[in-house]
């Protein structure tokens, strides 16, 4: 099984060259589209995901579904925050203007966008994603994101995306180098209603969080380590969370390990 790069059906020399460059950069195989459907290419090459390069968009096709970067739920959450409502993730992080967040499981970047809205221009949000296709599409999506709402555009812009395994990346970071370290792993028992997650589920790494990464996260964070899981999950206990935020009216909750540093 391999991931591929191809172009949209409606293509040009410029798009083909861009697709070839991306394939080279990511160490993936470029395949000519040859008027074939994505399903046909998937079957022909037994691919585990196809990065499709078109004129104004990058998308990932897998198993009959296609997705691209869009701030999705983040838009609604930012609107709610603007209207003075609470956001459980932000509460769990005790996140403030100017803080820095290391999102160790950035996925499609929705949580990172909400965090970036709160920390503002003087803050920092860096997201790590283990899947190279997803990391690339989200990174480019952020770079090229345009929206009539300057609030949403500002929230998206500036988020740093790195294709990395947090188990390796955390080890290299200095002590107390981020205000908050955040994990939103694939749930041990998925919430199947969340259809927006369907394509992501096929590409994502499903391994559970490991205790060594949590230990490293506690060294790297100044204020808090926050873990998102199903409210009924045993993971909070296993990973040493001392407080659970949310989950009373929602199937999702946030486990907190409070570290004290500048956490007023």
Ligand X SMILES: C[S@@+](CC[C@H](N)C(=O)[O-])C[C@H]1O[C@@H](n2cnc3c(N)ncnc32)[C@H](O)[C@@H]1O
Contact between 63 and ligand X per CB under 6 A: no
Nearest distance from C-beta of residue 255 to ligand X, angstroms? 14
Name 47's bridge partners: 2
Which one among 173, 186, 198, 218 touches ligand X, defined by CB under 6 A? 186
**Do the Cβ atoms of 45 and 4 come closer than 8 Å?**
yes
Nearest distance from C-beta of residue 228 to ligand X, angstroms? 7
In the window 7-36, what residues touch ligand X (CB under 6 A)? none
- Tokens coding 244: 């659970």
Q: DSSP per residue over 104-131, as a string? A: TT-TTSHHHHHHHHHH-TTSEEEEEES-
The count of chain residues that interact with ligand X, using the rule CB under 6 A, is 23
**Do the Cβ atoms of 182 and 101 come closer than 8 Å?**
yes
- Tokens coding 62: 């897998």
In the window 78-107, what residues touch ligand X (CB under 6 A)? 104-107
- Nearer CB in complex with ligand X: 162/258: 162
Close Cβ partners of 99 (under 8 Å, ≥ 6 residues apart): 93, 118, 119, 123, 179, 180, 223
Q: 234: exposed, middle or buried (C-beta count within 10 Å: 0-12, 13-18, 19+)?
A: exposed
- Nearer CB in complex with ligand X: 104/156: 104
- Nearer CB in complex with ligand X: 99/111: 111
Which one among 91, 165, 231, 251 touches ligand X, defined by CB under 6 A? 165
Nearest distance from C-beta of residue 40 to ligand X, angstroms? 27
**Do the Cβ atoms of 60 and 199 come closer than 8 Å?**
yes
Q: Which residue is nearest to ligand X (CB)?
A: 107
Contacts to ligand X by CB under 6 A: 104-111, 128-131, 134, 165-167, 184-186, 200, 204-205, 207
């Amino acid at each position: 099984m391999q991931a591929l790069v191809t172009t949209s059906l409606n293509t040009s020399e410029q798009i083909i060259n861009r697709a070839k460059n991306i394939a080279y950069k990511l160490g993936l195989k470029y395949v000519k589209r040859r008027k074939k459907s994505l399903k046909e290419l998937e079957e022909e090459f037994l691919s585990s995901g196809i990065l499709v390069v078109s004129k104004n968009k990058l998308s990932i096709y897998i198993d009959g579904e296609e997705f691209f970067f869009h701030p999705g739920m983040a838009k609604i959450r930012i609107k709610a925050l603007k209207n003075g409502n609470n956001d459980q993730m932000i509460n769990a992080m005790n996140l403030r203007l100017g803080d820095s967040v290391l999102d160790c499981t950035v996925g499609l970047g929705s949580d990172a966008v909400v965090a970036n809205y709160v920390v503002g221009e003087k803050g920092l949000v860096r997201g790590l994603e283990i899947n190279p296709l997803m990391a690339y599409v989200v990174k480019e999506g952020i770079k090229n994101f345009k929206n009539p709402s300057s609030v949403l555009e500002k929230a998206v812009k500036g988020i740093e995306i790195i294709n990395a395994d947090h188990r390796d990346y955390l080890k290299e970071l200095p002590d107390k180098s981020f205000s908050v370290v955040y994990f939103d792993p694939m749930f041990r028992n998925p919430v199947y209603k969340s259809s927006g997650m369907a394509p992501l589920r096929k590409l994502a790494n499903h391994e559970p969080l490991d205790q060594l990464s949590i230990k490293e996260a506690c060294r790297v964070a100044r204020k808090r380590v926050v873990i998102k899981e199903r409210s009924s999950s045993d993971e909070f206990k296993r990973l040493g969370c001392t407080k659970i935020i949310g989950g009373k009216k929602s199937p999702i909750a946030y486990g907190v390990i409070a570290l004290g540093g500048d956490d007023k």
